[in-house]
Amino acid sequence: MRATLALETDLAGAWLPAGGAHLSAPHRNGKKGRRMSEAKGTGSDIAVLNDCLGRVAAAADRGAFMQLFDHFGPRLKYFLLQKGCTDGEAEDLVQDVMLTVWRKAKQFDPGKAAASTWIFTIARNRFIDTKRRERVMVDFDTCPEAEQVSEETAEDEITQSELAADVAVAMAELPQAQAEVIQMAFIDGKSHSEIAEELGVPLGTVKSRIRLAFARLREVLESHR
Amino acid sequence: MSVANSQTLKASQNAPQNIPKHRLGDEWLVGLASGTLSEGEAMFARTCLSFVPEAANDLALAQTLGGAALERAPQAALKADARASLLAALDGAEMEPATSSPAPSPAPRKERQQGGVMPAVLQDYAGGDVDRMKWSYLGPGMKKVRLWQNDKGQTLWMLRAQPGVKIPEHTHEGTELTLVLKGSFHDAFGHYGPGDVEETDNSHTHDLVIDEGGECICLALTDRPLKFKGWIARAMQPFIGL
């Protein structure tokens, strides 16, 4: 129970839409060279969510499952609304995604991804499935050419969860213009040219912002090797 | 020259080991992970990634970014009974065992050719390797096959060109991406071998020359039909059908 409270309060600052100083302030880590996942909050939040999913897998723990629902449900609904679902469709899909989370919980591999990553992937695939926007399913779990490589470079559970925490911190510290395009791609589901159109900037600008943001993440990844 | 060619040939035989020098930009990883690419774009990106040794890590990183974006997403209030209906639905929902993921990846198509020119992911999509494609005439020493096209004219196609062939100066209304699957070519921007990707946009007009030493097979993604500058090429264009 205490874990739930900690989770909800620590993430409170990050619920607001992208933009403004509140995004970077709570997690900013002034000391260079210090592990970012030691920064207050984020690391333990990810651990709490992973732990919930673990409890669902191990013991069909409904309390833990509803904790996941309370955390991800409203975010998933926002995500689906942004993608053009009606309110009713979004509600149905949230139920559908969460049921999939329940059913497939035992297949969740904390060594491979954080709970948020895994759930995001399920939601995205489920949405793509519905809209048939893309015939080619892109799922790194079922991507044979990717799987080949992951055997050799598999990272352990702790590192993955630390990585997710550090990525979250890095995201919060990105310049606003970069964080915005990342958010628009993943949450609003907009293509690069749609983003360019909406922001009124050239396509090349959108691409370079994403590249810069990703370069920062690569640095984070490097620190885990 | 001959040394470079023999290296290129060797590289094409061992495509997965060849480390591409010219990579697809990271924005494509974000596109893949966010599910915002068109079918042709997704196929192009996945084929490029099959040449990149650390592709799995790159994709995993992009997906982690998706998770982080979800954490940062605003919340939309759910209906008051959403919790109750989900709890009720759990009664009828059986949990799948850890190991059995029902058909995690589609079974390899029987047409897939081991060690073919086209990476497995592209073979599965196109229904076999280059020899099973229905190549048609594009120009002297050049053949093409169209794999996909959407209503906006975005096209995923393959080019098969003989050594020494010069592809006429052309411009693009949108962007053109070219991935070398076999052989190599060069143009004003550099030299491209297996796994290398060239991205050009409307500011570029370029001639492209296929290197001596072997045929060159490329996967290309174009936004809109190409415009060739030479009058012969222009006259031919209606028949080329790109």
Residue-range definition of the domain harbouring residue A139: 2-173
Banded model confidence at residue A129, pLDDT cuts 50, 70, 90: confident
> Are A95 and A61 contained in the same domain?
yes
CB atoms within 10 A of CB B140: 11
The residue-averaged pLDDT of A8-24 equals: 30
Residue B93 belongs to some domain of the structure: no
- Tell me if B124 is assigned to some domain: yes
CATH number at residue B197: 2.60.120.10
Residues A107 and A140 in one domain: yes
The C-alpha R_g of chain A, in whole angstroms, comes to: 18
User: Looking at residue B167, what is its pLDDT?
Assistant: 78
B26 and A210 in contact by Cβ < 8 A?
A: yes
Q: Are both A28 and A134 inside the same structural domain?
A: yes
Amino acid B202: pLDDT:
64
Last residue of a domain, one of A132, A150, A173: A173
Residue B23 lies in a domain: yes
Residues A113 and A195 occupy one common structural domain? no
What value does the mean pLDDT of chain B take? 81
Question: Residue B31 and residue A192: Cβ atoms within 8 Å?
Answer: yes
Which of A115, A135, A182 is nearest residue B69 as measured by Cβ atoms?
A182
- Report CB contact under 8 Å: A211, B27: yes
Helix B55-72 vs helix A203-222: angle between axes, to the nearest 10 degrees?
Answer: 110
In this structure, the dihedral spanned by the alpha carbons of residues B153, B157, B162 and B163, taken in order and rounded to 10 degrees, is 90
CA neighbor of A79 nearest in space, from B83, B35, B84: B35
Residue A84 CA neighbour count, 13 Å, CB half:
7
Query: B60-94: per-residue pLDDT in tens?
Result: 889 889 999 999 999 999 999 999 999 999 988 88
pLDDT at A47 (0 to 100): 82
Number of domains in chain A: 2
Is residue B94 assigned to a domain?
no
Same domain, yes or no, for A83 and A40?
yes
Instruction: In whole angstroms, give the CA distance from residue B232 to residue B230.
Output: 6
Q: What CATH number should be reported for the domain holding residue A131?
A: 1.10.1740.10
CB < 8 Å from A in window 16-75 of B = 25-27, 29-39, 42-43, 46, 49-50, 53-57, 59-75
Q: Within a domain: residue B230? A: yes
Pairwise pLDDT comparison (A2 vs A64), residue with the higher score: A64
The verdict on A95 and A160 lying in the same domain is yes
Q: Is residue B57 part of a domain?
A: yes
What is the rounded CA–CA span in Å between residue A22 and residue A2?
A: 25
Q: Are residues A87 and A139 part of one domain?
A: yes
**Residues A168 and A180 both lie in one domain:** no
- Residue B26 falls within a domain, yes or no? yes
pLDDT at A124: 87
Residue B170 is predicted with a pLDDT of: 63
Shared domain check, A189 and A153:
no
A169 and A187 fall within a common domain = no
Query: How many domains are contained in chain B?
Result: 1
For residues A101 and A185, membership in a common domain is answered with no
Q: Contact, B205 vs B229, CB < 8 A? A: yes
Which pLDDT band, with edges at 50, 70 and 90, does B29 fall under? very high
> What number is the average pLDDT over the span B122-150?
91
Establish if B2 touches chain A: CB-CB under 8 angstroms.
Answer: no
CATH of the domain at A193: 1.10.10.10
- List, for residues A67-117, the tens digit of each pLDDT value: 999 999 999 999 999 988 899 999 999 999 999 999 999 988 887 788 999
CB A48 within 8 A of CB A62: no
| pLDDT value of residue B108 | 58
> Does the predicted interface ipTM exceed a cut of 0.90?
no
Q: Does residue A99 share a domain with residue A37?
A: yes
- How would you label B85-104 residue by residue, b for 16+ Cβ within 10 Å and e otherwise? ebeeebeeeeebeeeeeeee
Residue B120 near chain A (CB below 8 Å): yes
